[in-house]
Amino acid sequence: MPLELDLPPFRCLESRPEVSISFEGRDLRVPEGISVAAALLLHGLPPGRRSAIGGAQRCAYCLIGQCFECTMTIDGVPYRQACMTTVEAGMTVERQVG
């Protein structure tokens, strides 16, 4: 899938120890303890599914576990909510159609 990476990256106000996660084969360094959704936003990547109807790229909308726009395949398990999942070293994150 092509990456449409045109969200202006968020910025983190604190410096925290970092961990590495992998997003569709790219290594990302991210602050520990934050959610997968926050980690992707920090890198200008939209944490979200691709709509099964029409294929549009969606992005985390509510960030409190209600909207399910942020569902991704995390460590091989589909339909995980990126906004409710905390990053862990070595975690793999992929977009899913759903």
Partner 1 sequence: MSTDRFDLAIIGGGPAGLAAASMAFACGLNSVLIDENPGLGGRVFHGIETERDVSILGTDRIAATTLARDAREAATVLSGHSVVDIVRDHEHFQIKTLHGNELRSASARRLLIATGARERSMAFPGWTLPGVMTAGGVQTLLKGARLVPAGPVVLAGSGPLLLLVAVQLLRHDVPVAAILDTTPIANIRRAMPRLAGALWSGSVLRRGVGLLASLLWQRVPIYRGVNTIAAQGDGSIRAVTFKAGKRTHRLDCALLATHVGILPDIQLAGLVDCQLRWDASIPGWTPVTDRNGKTSQDGVFIAGDAAGIGGAEAAPHRGRIAATAAAVELGAIAPDEGDRLVTLDRKKLRRLNRERAFLDTLFFPSPDVRVPQDDAVLVCRCEAVSAGCLRALAAADVAEINHVKSISRCGMGACQGRVCGPLAEETLKDATGRSAEAVGTFRVRPPLKPVPIGAYAAFASDDPPAEARFLYTADW
Binding site for partner 1 (CB under 8 A): 4, 6-14, 31, 33-35, 38, 41-42, 46, 48, 51, 53-54, 56-69, 71, 77-81, 83-86, 98
Q: Which is nearer to ligand FES, 8 or 17 (CB)?
A: 8
By three-state DSSP, how is residue 84 classified?
Answer: helix
By three-state DSSP, how is residue 82 classified?
Answer: helix
- 3-state helix/strand/coil string of 28-54: EEEECCCEHHHHHHHCCCCCCCECCCC
Q: How many CA atoms lie within 13 A of 23 on its CB side?
A: 23
Q: Which range touches ligand FES (CB under 6 A), out of 3-11, 18-26, 62-70, 90-98?
A: 62-70
Q: Which is nearer to ligand FES, 40 or 83 (CB)?
A: 83
Q: Which range touches ligand FES (CB under 6 A), out of 7-15, 20-28, 57-65, 88-96?
A: 57-65
- Count residues contacting ligand FES (CB under 6 A)? 12
CA-closest candidate to residue 47, choices 74, 71, 22: 71
Binding site residues, ligand FES, CB under 6 A: 60-63, 65-70, 81, 83
